[in-house]
Amino acid sequence: MVAVVVGREAAVTWLRWHAKRSGIIVPASFWGKVKMVMQCAVLVALLAVGSPLWVEIVLYVMVAATVASGVDYALNLRGRADPA
């Protein structure tokens, strides 16, 4: 799970950096904001109550939101890529 989250962060950072070099500004997406809220909720839940089943479920939902956010950024940038 950690590898998925760190990998997504690295990939999206690289995509945004590359897009900026091409003159494309990539704002935060809805899915990126959902991902951040989920990450904060999971962190607070893990620190507050440990890892009962409901926290583990929220953790898996957070990983899914992380993947969805990464795919969303990649697809949105694909459509805006400079053909040159």
pLDDT tens by residue, 43-79: 999 999 988 999 999 999 999 999 999 999 988 887 6
Residue 83 has pLDDT above 80, yes or no: no
Q: What are phi and psi of 29, to 5 degrees?
A: -95, 165
- 8 exposed, middle or buried (CB, 10 Å; 0-12, 13-18, 19+)? buried
Residue identified by tokens 């990649």 is 74
Residue 80 has pLDDT above 70, yes or no: no
The pLDDT, as a whole number, for residue 81 is: 58
List of residues 6+ apart from 29 with CB closer than 8 A: 69, 72, 73, 76
CB atoms within 10 A of CB 66: 25
For the chain, percent of residues with pLDDT exceeding 70: 93
Mean pLDDT, rounded, for 27-56: 92
